[in-house]
């Protein structure tokens, strides 16, 4: 909560159109047989709110509103958040990567 409050205080007075933000995640996988490296990338764009909303999730979830939604990640349950979060988007690519490794 302390870091969220620090972020909100640092952005005090910043207009909504300048409160853009994104989360990014990279998951790396190495084929143990060949050493080939694969990466999965996920990103979610959004805005930093002026106040905390919701109690779900962790970290900055209560102050981050993803584009295309009116709620923060903190107002979503995991079944709503996970498929669109940066980690979820990256993780959704893992079956394809693992299938490529398995096929070799």
pTM of the predicted model as reported, rounded to 2 decimal places: 0.89
- pLDDT tens-place string over residues 79-97: 999 999 999 999 999 999 9
Spell out the residues 6+ positions from residue 8 whose beta carbon is closer than 8 angstroms to its own: 48, 50, 51, 52, 63
Computed on alpha carbons and rounded to an integer, the radius of gyration of the chain in Å comes to 17
User: What pLDDT was estimated at residue 1?
Assistant: 77
Statement: 2-103 belongs to CATH 3.90.950.10: yes
- Distance of alpha carbon 81 from alpha carbon 89, whole angstroms: 10
Cα 47 to the chain's mean position, in Å? 12
- Distance of alpha carbon 41 from alpha carbon 28, whole angstroms: 9
- pLDDT tens-place string over residues 48-67: 999 999 999 999 999 999 99
Task: State phi, psi for 36 to the nearest 5 degrees.
Answer: -65, 140
Q: What is the mean pLDDT of residues 10-37?
A: 97
Is the pLDDT at 24 greater than 90? The verdict is yes
Instruction: Provide the strand spans (E) within the chain.
Output: 20-30, 37-48, 64-66
The band of 36, judged by pLDDT with boundaries at 50, 70 and 90, is very high
Average pLDDT of the residues of the chain = 96
Cα 75 to the chain's mean position, in Å? 14
- Distance of alpha carbon 37 from alpha carbon 10, whole angstroms: 39
User: What pLDDT was estimated at residue 82?
Assistant: 96
Lowest mean pLDDT among 18-22, 68-72, 100-104: 100-104
- Distance of alpha carbon 31 from alpha carbon 54, whole angstroms: 40
């Amino acid at each position: 909560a302390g870091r969220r409050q620090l972020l909100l205080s640092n952005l005090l007075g910043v207009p909504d159109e300048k409160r853009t933000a994104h989360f990014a995640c990279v998951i790396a996988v190495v084929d143990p047989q060949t050493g080939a490296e694969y990466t999965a990338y996920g990103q979610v764009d959004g805005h930093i709110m002026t106040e905390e909303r919701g109690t779900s999730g962790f970290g900055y979830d209560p102050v981050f509103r993803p584009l295309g939604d009116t709620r923060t990640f903190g107002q979503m349950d995991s079944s709503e958040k996970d498929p669109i979060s940066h980690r979820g988007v990256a993780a959704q690519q893992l079956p394809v990567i693992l299938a490529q490794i398995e096929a070799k």
